[in-house]
Amino acid sequence: MIDNKGRPNRLGVVGWLGGGRWGLERYLYALHRLTGLGLLAYFVLHIGVTASRAFGEASWTAAMGRVSGPLFKTGEFLVFAAFAFHALNGVRLALVELGFAIGKPIEPVYPYRTSVDEQRPLAIGVMVVAAILVIVGGFGFLE
């Protein structure tokens, strides 16, 4: 292991969030992480809450009562939105990270058209579909 000379200069977690001069995909990556963590937190609680159905109707009704306030309903809508984004962006990532939709290696001629440019239509497409899903599903929450 080579000795590390010099003063540390890593960007740290700020590097995950970007800094304003970065591309769309970096922000999608940051949002994917954020929605993933949100979904995981909700999911762990969800397992606990829905397990109450094993104890019968009274237990279930009580549990549903506890999570029916306006704050919870807003939270559930956010979870639905997070799912819509995370799932569709995940489809894009699964395709791209398995080498699809990024184009073949080419002789680089300036201005370079990179894999990021090749998959950009897919990225826009999944965001549009996610937005449609959120709007359609959101109507259910308005009731």
Partner 1 sequence: MAAAHTVSTDVVFRVRRFDPTTDAAPHWEDYRFAAPAGMTVLEGLRHVKEALSPTLAWRSSCRMGVCGSCGMFINGRPRLACNTQIAELGGALVTIAPLPNFNTIRDLVPDLAPMFEAHAAAKPHIIRDNAAEQREPTGEYWQSPRQLEEYLQFSYCIKCGCCMAACPTYATDPEYAGPMPLAQGHRYNADSRDGGFAERKASLAGERGPWRCHFAGECSRVCPKGVDPARAIQLMKRQLVFDYLRLWKQPCPAPLAKSPAGVERREGIPDAPARTI
Partner 2 sequence: MRDQRLWTWHIGAGAVILVLLGLHMTIMHLDAIVRVFSPQPGEPIAWANVVARGRSAFFLVTYVLLLGAALFHGFYGLRNILFELNPGTPAKKALNGFLLVAGVALFAVGTWAAWAGFTVARGA
Could you tell me which stretch among 1-9, 104-112, 121-129, 135-143 binds partner 2 (CB under 8 A)?
Answer: 135-143
| Interacting residues with partner 2 between 34 and 93 (CB under 8 A) | 36-37, 39-40, 43-44, 47-48, 50-51, 53-54, 56-57, 60-61, 64, 80, 83, 87, 90-91
What's 51's DSSP letter?
A: G
Instruction: Kindly state the smallest distance separating residue 9's Cβ from partner 2, in Å.
Output: 15
Q: At what angle do helices 24-50 and 70-97 cross, to 10 degrees?
A: 130
Q: Is 36 helix (H, G, I), strand (E, B) or coil?
A: helix
14 forms part of the interface with partner 2 (CB under 8 A)? no
For 81, what's the count of Cα atoms within 13 Å in the CB-facing half-sphere?
A: 14
Buried b (16+ CB within 10 A) or exposed e, 42-70: beeeeeeeeebeeeeeeebeebeeeeeee
Q: Between 68 and 106, name the residue whose CB sits nearer to partner 2.
A: 68
Residues interacting with partner 2, by CB under 8 A?
Answer: 13, 33, 36-37, 39-40, 43-44, 47-48, 50-51, 53-54, 56-57, 60-61, 64, 80, 83, 87, 90-91, 94, 97-98, 136-137, 139-141
